[in-house]
Structure 1
């Protein structure tokens, strides 16, 4: 088996994933979707907030003018004429002329000029010029109707103004007007608090919408993310793995072209490169199928012991010792994927399964295979892999001793696709024991239990 992997490999793999063009493109797309979702939400919330604030403002303005109109109506009803002239005694004791908004009475003199004859008691109201009050009263008298308007006071703040004409009791002639001056701050405090609450709520809702949009867009893009990354990994695998056997074949052909002995001495090397090339293609295509199909496997009842024996017969030729102890086992799995996984485990064990002494003398590899239920154990006498080292070795392109570089990584993915796992540990007496689990055992002539310890 391969030796212990360096922890830096995992860090490099994570850094590669972060720098992946697919991730960068989809992150930009996710950002644009989040921004669009946020802007649409912001536009909708802003429009709704504006409508709420404007409606509330109009409601408070209407309430203010209604109160002012009521005070003006009561005040005009309390004004009367006698032989002695205009009488205002009823205004002094009525609730309508107390507090705010304050009431003013302007009376027309015989020469047509308007002069103030009454001002109610109460807090100071907005400082509106006397000429502006007279002009408003004249307008109400000319129209013989109530007039309302808004004017800036001496401080630049807005003041509500309302004028209502009153008549002589006998002649019904318009003789003056009651002017009510209101301060908007008296009514608009509640409105400002509501506006502040609406704006804060709109901001929080927009922020929540942005966070939700980011999460939802990320979730919706996850399949595309995985698909793009799968394509990039497959292309990277193919480019990385095909480079070595193609280079070997090309160099062999170049050397054979100048060798007077011809092509025959170089055929074994070319054949080995061709076999390795076929293994690489199988592994890369299998990985692409796993990444594209996800959980959609062509799982059928499978005699695992028979499949393992067939693969062992295929790889038996060569300078190594390969022994098996298979029990009859039926599992529900994808035969093509399981065959690839078993072949990769055996190839890896045969390549690295020699003892240190045998490795120095080019001796034989010693590999023992056990099948128990849905589990396969492959044991060798190589340098050994500790359980903590296996995750690093199942990364792509981790093959310090040669090989395709994605063998164990592909076996781990095949195990996960079947609901199983790939584990490894040091073998007593030296070497490595790798266990492949393909999930629960199917009903049949299987022998229950985990793999025996070789």
Structure 2
């Protein structure tokens, strides 16, 4: 596969992963922010509700007719519980302030006085955070009350420790942040896998393109070299041009056939075309291929039994031609003619030669770039395997005991 194309696909995969992760991370951050904000609001509502319960009760129990009367407050259980409270004048010294019996937190009186004055002047409830004298966060609730004259002269302020709620909220923050980080990691891994799956067809297409180009170069190398040799011979020996012309035409026709076959394979692999499956007489097709194949310096024997297979006749003819051509070219001992035996029976085509054989240990592993001991690059044989696999068949290769390579092409048989 082209290195630059692979690098671009890999960069695209990382880019898609990044976009997928960032988009989901933004959504998670927004969701986490909403969850934490809602938890903060509910936490404040819980504290304010408790403070409101104290201030509203105390304002009903106190009276002011020139003198602050707190007798009912003294006997109420709220006076000895948390949250603590205080009854303070809004401004001036209309009355002495009153503090609840139980002190739960320590607060600067000046801070409380400021809150009470603000509430008394505005005549409204006030809730907010203040700092305790030890630096801790406290929640205060202030409710003003009226004198008999109908004027706001003071307020009841209740105070509670916000630490427990803050600790609970902090734990939730860590849980949400940790959960978001974990989800972002899961999303990133999932995005990487999904991007790889989405780009897999493109990677496969690039790989098929490289294989197709390599097979084209392999199949055309020999006829192109022969065509060039014929042309150079004709240029040097004008008297032989008439004899060389038919051979040139045959080579050109062979090159055209090779190109057509490769284009068909490329179109089938791309899904542009479908296999033209039909019942064919395999023995007759192989016999026709043997008869049409030039067999100079080769002796080919054919043994057949009637057998019908379901296949694309053009592709099967190409595959048989490749096997026979490979056996004739490379299945011979140097200096002697090629001897090839072909057997057709039961949906199988067996092509055996008397050459140097093959490296059986590496045959299956490197079949797409096959190397024989006779020096063949053997890349054209990958087309044979592809034809077999496209039809649901197999291509097997092994050595004969007496020497030579054996190729066995198996295709689905039509039931009688």
TM-score, shorter chain, exceeding 0.5: yes
Partner of 2:23: 40
8 Å CA contact 2:357, 2:373 repeated in 1: no
RMSD of the alignment, in Å?
3.1
Unaligned runs of 5+ in 1: 1-16, 445-454
Partner of 1:416: 389
1:256 CA drift (Å)? 3.4
Pick one of 71, 76, 80 that aligns with 2:59: 76
Runs of 4+, deviation exceeding 6 Å: none
User: Distance in 2 between the 1:67 and 1:194 partners?
Assistant: 22
Matched, 1:140 2:119: yes
Higher RCO, 1 or 2 (CA under 8 Å, sep at least 6)?
A: 1
Matched, 1:123 2:104: yes
User: Distance in 1 between the 2:375 and 2:257 partners?
Assistant: 13
User: Distance in 1 between the 2:3 and 2:351 partners?
Assistant: 35
1:261 CA drift (Å)? 4.4
Partner of 2:159: 181
Matched, 1:227 2:205: yes
8 Å CA contact 1:160, 1:181 repeated in 2: yes
1:430 CA drift (Å)? 1.4
1:67 CA drift (Å)? 0.8
User: Distance in 1 between the 2:136 and 2:272 partners?
Assistant: 69
User: Distance in 1 between the 2:283 and 2:196 partners?
Assistant: 43
User: Distance in 1 between the 2:96 and 2:247 partners?
Assistant: 121
Describe the superposition over 1:164-203 as per-residue Cα deviations: whole angstroms up to 9, x where unpaired.
12334x4444332111223322223333333322222222
Structure 1 residues 114 and 191, CA, compared in 2 at 3 Å: closer, same or farther? farther
1:316 CA drift (Å)? 5.5
Partner of 1:372: 345
User: Distance in 2 between the 1:142 and 1:27 partners?
Assistant: 69
SS in 1 for 2:270: helix
Describe the superposition over 1:188-224 as per-residue Cα deviations: whole angstroms up to 9, x where unpaired.
3333333322222222222222222222232233333
User: Distance in 2 between the 1:395 and 1:115 partners?
Assistant: 101
8 Å CA contact 1:387, 1:423 repeated in 2: no
1:65 CA drift (Å)? 0.7
Partner of 2:83: 101
8 Å CA contact 1:283, 1:407 repeated in 2: no
1:429 CA drift (Å)? 1.5
Partner of 1:452: none
User: Distance in 2 between the 1:294 and 1:392 partners?
Assistant: 30
Which one is further off, 291-300 or 319-328?
A: 291-300
Pick one of 182, 185, 199 that aligns with 1:204: 182
Which one is further off, 314-323 or 32-41?
A: 314-323
Partner of 1:24: 7
8 Å CA contact 1:377, 1:435 repeated in 2: yes
The 5 A counterparts of 1:231-310 are 231-239=209-217, 241-243=219-221, 245-259=223-237, 261=239, 263=241, 270=248, 274=252, 277-278=255-256, 280-293=258-271, 296-310=274-288
Count residues in correspondence.
Answer: 416
Describe the superposition over 1:133-179 as per-residue Cα deviations: whole angstroms up to 9, x where unpaired.
111101111222322233455566543222112334x4444332111
Partner of 2:315: 337
Partner of 2:191: 213
8 Å CA contact 1:75, 1:97 repeated in 2: no
Task: Give the TM-score, by structure 1 length.
Answer: 0.81
1:307 CA drift (Å)? 0.8
SS in 2 for 1:395: helix
Task: Give the TM-score, by structure 2 length.
Answer: 0.88
User: Distance in 2 between the 1:384 and 1:397 partners?
Assistant: 12
Describe the superposition over 1:373-420 as per-residue Cα deviations: whole angstroms up to 9, x where unpaired.
222111111222354332245224746746674221111111111111
Structure 1 residues 147 and 196, CA, compared in 2 at 3 Å: closer, same or farther? same
SS in 2 for 1:322: strand
Which one is further off, 332-341 or 380-389?
A: 380-389
Structure 1 residues 437 and 155, CA, compared in 2 at 3 Å: closer, same or farther? farther
Unaligned runs of 5+ in 2: none
User: Distance in 2 between the 1:63 and 1:424 partners?
Assistant: 81
SS in 1 for 2:357: coil
User: Distance in 2 between the 1:244 and 1:351 partners?
Assistant: 11
User: Distance in 1 between the 2:331 and 2:90 partners?
Assistant: 119
Partner of 1:8: none
Partner of 1:443: 415
